[in-house]
Chain A
Amino acid sequence: MTLNPGTDLRSDALSEIRINTPAVERRAATLPARRSLKRDHQAAWLLNAVRCIDLTTLAGDDTPDRVARLCAKARQPIAPELLEAMGVSGLTTGAVCVYPTMIAPAKRALGNSGIPVASVATGFPAGLMPLNLRLAEVLYAVEHGADEIDIVITRAHVLRGEWTALYDELRAMREACGSAKMKAILATGDLKSLENVARASHVAMQAGADWIKTSTGKEAVNATLPVSLVMCRAIRDYRDQTGHVVGFKPAGGLRTAKDALNWQVLMAEELGRDWLRPELFRIGASSLLGDIERQISHYVTGRYAAAHRQAIA
């Protein structure tokens, strides 16, 4: 998958954006009711969600051993006997996602598994640090081997309509990422309006983001279906305008297996099959995997599962 090269800042594309919020909410509310997945199809979609998870720990008390445990779960996200019963092999999560100082422990723990390490950077989660320090943090992460960098945008630029400033900042970050892929976290819970979300999405894509991501997980409201719908439509419009393909990462709002299905239905219906692959779809989550594993266990064994019988991350 080639990187999104971005474009010049196209503020004309921003002024044409019209979003009717109640209509977005209606579509988001009915989408999960329009599609239903049962039995083996449901199992396949749940395992696909696992493939797309950025298994995440972003806590003040993270330690190298804690990160190692997370990585072990990323390598074996579902108990081997369950996978074997379904004839599925080699399933891992899409990536692990950690703070910059935890990149090295993560790389060690993941070894040659091929699972990418994603690191947050740029003063995560608020991003209110001088730009040179934020860029230095990106360089630090790249230096330590991060494959993907989850940067945060300056929300003030969106709220104040400073599109050039936002574009320039993101361009600089994109450059600092080098060959690492960049996920631009919009912190949609702070942007509040869906038009803000759409505009920020376009600027991030124009500046070369490989994925646009909803949330840090630290805002009052994290990923929701309405916000995700707006971002998916922005990705579609950007592709129609430029031919470039950008991925999507909801984060912080997905906790249940049903959530995982709903978001995948959204991707399939609004963007299509390609956006159900980890190259273009990631789910930022930590507790979600446990619920998926419980559902898979029930599918395989016919018994409802207990959390304590599953390996934790």
Chain B
Amino acid sequence: MTSVSDLMETMEYGPSAEDSSAARDWLARRGAFGHFIGGTFAEPGTLFDTRDPATGHVLAQVTRGTADDVAAAVAAARQAQPGWAALSGTKRAQYLYALARHVQKRERFLSVLETLDNGKPIRESRDIDVPLVARHFYHHAGWAELRDSAFPGHAPLGVCGQIIPWNFPLLMLAWKIAPALAAGNTVVLKPAEYTPLTALAFAEICQEIGLPSGVVNVVTGDGDTGAALVMADVDKIAFTGSTEVGRAIAGQLAGTGKRLTLELGGKSPFVVMPDADLDAAVEGVVDSIWFNGGQVCCAGSRILVAEAVADRFEALLSARMARLRVGSPLDKSTDVGAIVDPIQKDRILSICKAATDAGAELVGGAAGDGCFIAPGYLRNIGPANPGFEQEIFGPIATLSTFRTADEAVELANNTRYGLAASVWSESAAVATDIAAKVKAGVVWINCANLFDGAAPFGGYRESGFGREGGRAGMLDYLSEIPAEAITEPVPATPVATTTGSGRPVGLDRTAKLYIGGAQKRPDGGASYAVPGGLAPLGNRKDIRNAVEAAAKAGKWAAMGGPARAQVLYYIAENLSARADEFAARTSPAEVDAAIARAFHYAAWADKFDGANVQARPGHLLNVVHEPFGVMGIACPNAQPLAGFMSLVMPAIAMGNRVVAIAAQDDPLAVTDLYQVFDTSDLPGGVVNIVTGPRDDLAKVLAAHDEVAAMWMVGGDLAGAKKAAGGNLKPVWAPDHRDWCGPQAQGEVFLRHATQTKTIWLPYGALPEGTGSAAY
């Protein structure tokens, strides 16, 4: 043994292993695990091993869930759900509170178990994961208490199937279970194949606190088990994991009517402006891509640094990287632990190889024995390199430069993903501007990877849809009490006419498509007969042109709510001036409704505010509603004017540009609207109108990668939802209803026309000084 005086010379840290005996004793005592169904642990079935990735040793054997196991769990959840939902909010809150308390009481045990199963450093499971788990249950105990008053007109969904990943096993469990239970749902949770153990420990906690049987069920297994859960009799699937699997789930659920939220991959930009605190930014990288071995969906993995400070930043970064300690996850001085599985390690290394083959230079990032990879980054790398584009999901960042703020934003947004972003600047003017322009569901200004139960988390673009945390997260586990649905008339097949439209009344008028603020003839050069004349028979190229026009009209969002409100008021005014003409096409009631919609959403245009959320002291946390961008709207085949205005007005009020497919059988009142729009200062391209076969056109719209969200009333919803899987846009399908009635307008339309962006901004002019928990 080295003497103390020798150690005084080397000043090494030495080993400092966390005691894992309590977790190992528990595993030995429990033996092989069965599923947790209906409040009890079932007999083990076909078993598979779960291993400690740091050593490769088997930790436990758990059951590979079959479709029958899943069905039994869903049945238990189904049986428990009415009783659970019928409990008072206070009673449900007490259960969630008890879950939080019991997680805290067993925090050491859970931290160690998580580190054993996952390979993450004990510091992270102890100081970050488990405290956030407790916080999530506390926060949602509050939502359980407040559900009825905070969400009037909403009801729980029923049984939720929840599939979680291996990178934050217990934390993702909390993110899924806490809001579901608070809202009055029951759940069947499928933990990841690599990391099932803390979910099973959590199931024990559910037993301990006397949670009613069947409210929480845990079925372990692999991808097949998850697939069985997706196809089971559940009301919602909530999935966190890879974009590939998320896309497959979206396809499977298309047309089933089941709700879906997806939290998928990312390649999040990490933007360092020239006026940043570079040391702070370097620590931000440590907390991003070298946190949990980079196995973090929202990791700031694409470092973009201003050329003016790039050399100094890289010098600081590489010096900091050299001090990171890679090693045993249970050692309290370890910064980077084990990659979760050899398969993942190989995947990381293969992407790095592809990146270096394509010309990038890898600094650090050496593969160690077992599941270890040293932290590193790829330099000399551009957007066309596979390492820049693909999610590496390991401790390897990319480092590239930009010249100016606009280029920083362009590079940041040059990705199919949109989960998170981190922006570093000491200028409030610069940082908030970039935060506004980055397309991501979470933006951290001068910080990285901060989470809280009150802070909505979720993605834009192919990073998924839906939010976890806070009010927005609760809404994804509730449904609006539905409008009185009525049956939509099935549209007739539109046939290109070879005959005329009959004798024109007065001077002949030709209805055209409305694209980019101009009247356009249909690409196919054909029309179909509709009441009152001929309508253009639109095709896929017309949709393409309309989307292109909409994409170019981005300044509509930048105008701001008050200016948009003025345009909507003007639309109401001009529509009113021509009320008789439109009434002749439709009915006085429809015209009244159309004017009312323009007026109503003009009112909302500057009022659908986000929130300033109370997460933690010293952190300004803004949740803002942002438009999707280009939206596709397939209108109902009845009440053409009222239906169109009820859907298009809320969408554009929020700053979206719309490509609308007018009521198929009777679209001429809508094509006439171009005159109203032209005279109301509506910028060209904000509203684009295509007529023709709705289902075919809707599929083209849904499949268009530039279209960020889709609404569709009636028709081939399954087809549209399948087509939407390409860029994973959310598809909302409100029931057909009386579009002149009061249920045809309201906040719910605005919620579906926006996505939330959560912006974190820690502040502090002076250090906290005495009394801080830090010292």
Contacts from A to B (Cβ < 8 Å): 18-30, 33-41, 43-45, 47-48, 51, 86-89, 189, 192-194, 220-221, 224-227, 233, 240, 253, 262, 264, 268-269, 273, 276
Contacts and interface: CB of A to CB of B under 8 A. Distances in A.
A35 B426 contact: no
Contact of B764 (A22, A36, A86, A233): A22
Contact of A29 (B14, B284, B774): B774
12 contacts: A22-B618, A22-B764, A23-B280, A26-B283, A27-B280, A29-B772, A40-B14, A48-B11, A88-B4, A233-B279, A264-B11, A276-B11
Given A23-B283, A40-B2, A41-B14, A88 B774 contact: no
A120 to B, nearest CB: 23
A24 B426 CA distance: 13
B277 interface: yes
A39 B323 CA distance: 23
Nearest to A35: B333
B8 A21 contact: no
Contacts of B11: 44-45, 48, 264, 268, 273, 276
B278 interface: yes
A266 B28 CA distance: 40
A36 B7 CA distance: 15
Nearest to A265: B13
Nearest to A45: B11
Given A25-B764, A44-B11, A20 B774 contact: no
B5 interface: yes
B767 A20 contact: no
Given A21-B767, A23-B279, A38-B14, 12 more contacts: A18-B276, A22-B447, A28-B775, A35-B333, A36-B16, A44-B7, A86-B3, A86-B4, A86-B5, A88-B4, A192-B766, A193-B766
B314 to A, nearest CB: 13
Nearest to A259: B775
Contacts of A29: 772-775
Contacts of A253: 775
Contacts of B280: 19-20, 23-24, 27
A22 B16 contact: no
Question: Across chains A and B, which 8 residue pairs bring their CB atoms closest together, nearest first?
Answer: A41-B14, A23-B280, A44-B7, A36-B332, A22-B762, A29-B774, A36-B16, A20-B277
A37 B766 contact: no
A200 to B, nearest CB: 15
- The residue among A28, A33, A44, A192 with the most chain B CB atoms within 10 A of its own CB is A44
B429 interface: no
Nearest to B767: A226
Given A38-B15, A40-B1, A23 B7 contact: no
Contact of B775 (A23, A44, A224, A273): A224
B270 to A, nearest CB: 14
Interface string B462-506: 000000000000000000000000000000000000000000000
B767 A36 contact: no
B4 A40 contact: yes
Contacts of B284: 23
A47 B3 CA distance: 13
A238 B349 CA distance: 38
B28 to A, nearest CB: 26
A29 B616 CA distance: 15
Contacts of A24: 280, 767
Contacts of B426: 18, 20
A45 B8 CA distance: 7
B766 A21 contact: yes
Interface in B557-589: none
The interface centre, meaning the residue of A29, A35, A41 with most chain B CB atoms within 10 A of its CB, is: A41
A139 to B, nearest CB: 36
A227 B12 CA distance: 25
B152 interface: no
